[in-house]
Every structure is written in structure tokens, then in C-alpha cells.
Structure 1
Amino acid sequence: MWKTWFILTFITVQTSTQQLGTGCPSGFVKYNGNQKCYGFVASQTTWASALEYCSIVGGTLPQITDANIQAFLEAQISSRYKESNYVISTENNYHYHYIMDNGIDVRGQTSITFEVMACNDAHIALSKDKGVDSRDTYEIVIGGWGDHQSVIRDCKQCAHMDTNVQQQHPIDCQNYSSFWVSWTNNVIKVGKGNDVGKQTFLTWNDTAPHDVNYVAFSTGFGATGKWKVKRGNYNPGLFWIGASDLASEGNWLWLPSKQKFSYSNWAPTEPDNINYYEHCALIDLHRGYKWRDDNCEERRNFICETIPNDEGNEVIG
């Protein structure tokens, strides 16, 4: 059902009409340097599904073969990206505050990044319904037990599904610390920093998963907290491109053409193939539009590349 909805939405919004004077699908922009059209999709999906969706409009994921194309894509993402900042305060009462009440809707998303300033016991709830006392809630504790331990629980105050006791003092009373949480393909992950999928320190694969429609924050057990959440119209701000080394580790090619790289724009230390699962490339808005590798099964934003149809695009759908 989700896949059908996504395809219909993508076709309706992006390709229902031709963009006059360009030969590009509606919502796409033409780059004259290589006579291609590019569309920027805010919805999230896996690398393979993104490739499939782009094929619906007669295209593929982009092949960035020189610095001019890279600069063009950067400028287009930058001109479209809008970001809002939210600050949420939590008291020393272990009472959850739903970020939906601040206008932050995570339905249809698979991750969230945030900053928190607290002495200990930063709690995050990922719930199917609005009410963390229900069984369908994942509870994450960062810096619990005197800021010495972090855990994932399968419900509020339930058993620990994963525990990290090595990372002491992950949060700070006086300074904000950055974290991300993701819930993709039944796997709950928690990591440091703003790069979703990097610096992971908690992981749990739920064999009986539930949807995550609401996120809530809480502090308690002697601590108050301040939380910062940035939300952009592209979330998580990671855009699949057409590069992969799935066929041969370290041998990056543009797919489906199998063209070798003549240009690259990797971020420092990338590609790093963390946990041997990262075989698809993306543009990371939060790292200066540099490229990095990622798990192909993660759900990300993406870009489609098509050839202009000078005779006029056929209306699809």
C-alpha cells in the first residue's frame, strides 16, 4: 500500500505536466551543461526503490560526472531547502513531551536528529500512538544511571534490548550534545552527531515491530533538559545518487550504466563502509553536500535525472 501511494504521489506531483520551455517533467529543472533534467524528491525510500521510481519518469538516479553538475545540484538543493528550529524544555518529572505538539510530524519519516543539554537521563520515546504507556513504544535512555549508561527498551520501563555501559557521560549539563535516532526496517539505532547511520552506539532488531508515528522527549531522576530539533523540508537531507559498489567492494560505478568514476566528491574519511553494509552513495546536505556511502536499505531522499523531451513530455497517470 505504501509503495503504491508513493508511486502515485510521485507521478502526480512531479510529472503530471511538462514544464513549459524545458522539455522537463513538471517540478524538474533543466541543466544545460549536460542537457539533463533533475527532480528533487522529499519522500524517503531505499536506494533500489529510488532507482525504480526514477525509471517511472524515464530516468535514473543522477550520474555526477564533473564538478559543474555537482555545483548545480548543490545550488538547487540549497535554494529549495527550508529549515525550522524548535526548542523544547523538559522538567525533572519523567513526563514526556510530544514533539508533534510543536508542529514536528515524523509520520512517514525514519529518523530524527536532535541536540540535548541535560545532566543525565535523557529519554526518547518512539510510539505508534500518542501515549507512551502503551506497549507499542520504544524507549531510549541516553546518559541514565548517573550519566554512565544508555539503553533501548521495548516499552516504557521495560527490559533492556540493548545496553551501552562503555560510553560514559554522553550528555552534558552545560553544553548541547548531538544525537540521531532511526527506525528503519525493524531496526532501532541510536548514534552520536548529526550524520544518521554514523557513530552508532545502540542497535536493536525488533522481531515484532510497530510503526513509529510519534516522538517524545523527557528528563527526570534529578535532571531537567533542553532539546533542540531542526526540521527541514528535506529530511534527513540525504539524497541518493546513482553510485554503488555492490558488484565489487571499493569499485564504485554509476548504475545502471556501469560507468567508472571520472569525478568524485567524497567527504573526508568516506567511503568508509561501516559494518560492511554501506554500498550506495548519497549527497549529504549537512556535510557541505559531500558524498558518503550508506546502507542501501536505509530510507533517504533522492534525486532523479532524465533527458529532456523536446517534443513534449507524455502525461503519466
Structure 2
Amino acid sequence: MKSMVILFMVVKTASCVRFSEYICDEICFPDSAALTSSQSSLQCARQCLGNDNCRQFLYHNHQESCLINGELCCTGWKLYYTGSQVPEFNKSSVLSIATPANYLHPYYSLTSYGITGSDRTFLIVDVKGCGDAHIGLSKIEMDSSNPIASYEIVIGGSNNTWTYVRKNGDHEAGGHDAIDCENYVTFWVTWDNDVIRIGRGSELRSNEILSWSDPDSALDVKYIGLGTYALDIEWRIYL
């Protein structure tokens, strides 16, 4: 995305500092532990200038969040930097997986790729297929001895017209949405604070399709898997 120059009148040793703005477009999620609250990009700029090691900062207007010297330039964020060149950022890795139709026996576990529910509470995926793409969340590993996930997010179910959550095979909540046979469609899934949410796009908690809480127990997600029913599905997972 092309950057545009803006001017912040921020006093530091009686001088003005000019920042350039860059609109981020990488599909990723920044480290939440490093975020600070900030009501405006100007406040975030002041935080940066008060830090001798600050090279640039990122600001999210909707979340009112500031990130000093962030390593990822993620969609929904704006980068502010000094100098004439946009800083180079780490690119999020993308894992491509094709899951042939197998009627969910078993789910394809992501543990071997280093993706588990023990160290994350979200997943961002591109999905391509004609329907019935399944994301499994489970407290025990999904393999031949335990083929079904504790919780299932079904994207493009019911002849590619419906997206819903299942618990132990029973429908719990749903909303209208579908996938595409020819093109990738991006979805996000989160399961923090004992709530499963799913939405369209790469920005978490935007364009939400549905949310659901288990009335019987707290969520205990340790493993993540991908599943297909009668149709082949192609996935791109953002690590």
C-alpha cells in the first residue's frame, strides 16, 4: 500500500518530527502482550518519542491500541515511521494444506505443524472448496482413536449455505455464509474467554458471523484440526 506523508507537531528538544503513514495489509495478528492503550495516533506518537529506542509505531483506530516497534504490519493497523523508506517487516508464514474428502474420519490434526490450542486462541484461514469445510477444536488429540472434535465450526454446510458450530455432533448456533469452489475466502475463528466466534475477513472480531458459549462447561481447547466431509477442501493457514 502506498504511503502518504503526514505531519505530527510533537515537541522533543524543541523540534518537530515528521512521520509518514503506511496502511498495513498483511494478514496477521500482533502480539497482544505488547499493546498499550492510546486514544489517538498522536498519543501513540508521544509514547514513541518518549522511548529512545523507538524506530516506528503502529496504531489501530478502532481498538485504540498502540504498538511501539512492532514486528508485523497487520491489516487494520497503520504504521507511522520517520525517514524516506517504509521499514521492512517480518512476513507472516502461510501453511497450505489440501484435505481430501474423508467424511471426517479422522480430522487432520495441525499439531505436527506446531499449531495447537495450548499456545493460541485464534486461527485465520483462507478456504477454497464447494462446501463443508470443518475446523475442529478439541481438548484431546484428533486421530484415528478419537476422530471427532469436541467442537466443530462448519463453514459452508447445508449445501454451502450455512455456517454453524456443533458440539459433539449437535448443532448449537449458525449464520448464513458460504465458501467458493474457485476462489479462497478468508475467515477468522477465536475461542478466548470461553466464547467461540467466527467471522469473515482477516481482522479478528470484525464482520462476525456468529458467536456461541458452551452452557455446560468452560472451553478447553488444546488441539486444532481440519476436516472435510464429501468434498475436497484447500486451506491456507496464517501462522
TM-score (norm 1): 0.49
Pairwise CA RMSD of aligned residues?
3.2
* Alpha-carbon shift at residue 80 of structure 1 (Å): 6.3
Aligned residues: 175
Match of 2:153 among 123, 140, 143: 140
CA separation in 2, counterparts of 1:84 and 1:46? 20
| Residues 201, 131 of structure 1: alpha-carbon distance in 2 compared, 3 angstrom cutoff | same
Residue 192 of structure 1: aligned partner: 200
CA separation in 2, counterparts of 1:77 and 1:175? 29
Match of 2:173 among 162, 166, 169: 162
Residue 151 of structure 1: aligned partner: 164
Aligned amino acid, residue 117 of structure 1? K
> Is 1:102 the equivalent of 2:82?
no
Indicate conservation of the 8 Å contact 2:128/2:235, yes or no.
yes
Residue 112 of structure 1: aligned partner: 123
Alignment of 1:194-213 (within 5 A): 194-207=202-215, 208-213=217-222
Indicate conservation of the 8 Å contact 2:128/2:180, yes or no.
yes
Q: Secondary structure at the match of 1:64?
A: helix
Q: Secondary structure at the match of 2:191?
A: strand
| Residues 181, 46 of structure 1: alpha-carbon distance in 2 compared, 3 angstrom cutoff | farther
Indicate conservation of the 8 Å contact 1:121/1:142, yes or no.
yes
Residue 61 of structure 2: aligned partner: none
Greater shift in the superposed pair: 171-180 or 85-94: 85-94
Deviation per residue, 1:226-281 (Å, 9 max, x gap) = 100121xxxxxxxxxxxxxxxxxxxxxxxxxxxxxxxxxxxxxxxxxxxxxxxxxx
Residue 84 of structure 1: aligned partner: 93
* Alpha-carbon shift at residue 131 of structure 1 (Å): 2.2
Quick one: percent identity of the two aligned structures? Answer: 29
In structure 2, list runs of 5 or more residues that go unmatched: 1-10, 14-29, 59-68, 73-87
* Alpha-carbon shift at residue 175 of structure 1 (Å): 0.5
Residue 73 of structure 1: aligned partner: 57
| Residues 117, 136 of structure 1: alpha-carbon distance in 2 compared, 3 angstrom cutoff | closer
CA separation in 2, counterparts of 1:45 and 1:189? 21
Match of 2:235 among 214, 227, 241: 227
Alignment of 1:50-65 (within 5 A): 63-65=43-45
CA separation in 1, counterparts of 2:197 and 2:31? 21
Alignment of 1:1-317 (within 5 A): 44=32, 63-65=43-45, 72-74=56-58, 76-78=70-72, 81-93=90-102, 94=104, 95-131=106-142, 133=146, 137-155=150-168, 157=169, 159-164=170-175, 166-167=176-177, 170-207=178-215, 208-221=217-230, 223-231=231-239
More helix by share: 1
CA separation in 2, counterparts of 1:136 and 1:97? 10
Indicate conservation of the 8 Å contact 1:136/1:210, yes or no.
no
Deviation per residue, 1:76-131 (Å, 9 max, x gap) = 53466352211111011123111222233442211110101010100010111112
Indicate conservation of the 8 Å contact 1:116/1:228, yes or no.
yes
CA separation in 2, counterparts of 1:114 and 1:76? 22
Indicate conservation of the 8 Å contact 1:120/1:144, yes or no.
yes
* Alpha-carbon shift at residue 146 of structure 1 (Å): 0.7
CA separation in 2, counterparts of 1:205 and 1:225? 27
TM-score (norm 2): 0.63
In structure 1, list runs of 5 or more residues that go unmatched: 1-32, 36-41, 52-61, 232-317
CA separation in 1, counterparts of 2:227 and 2:149? 17
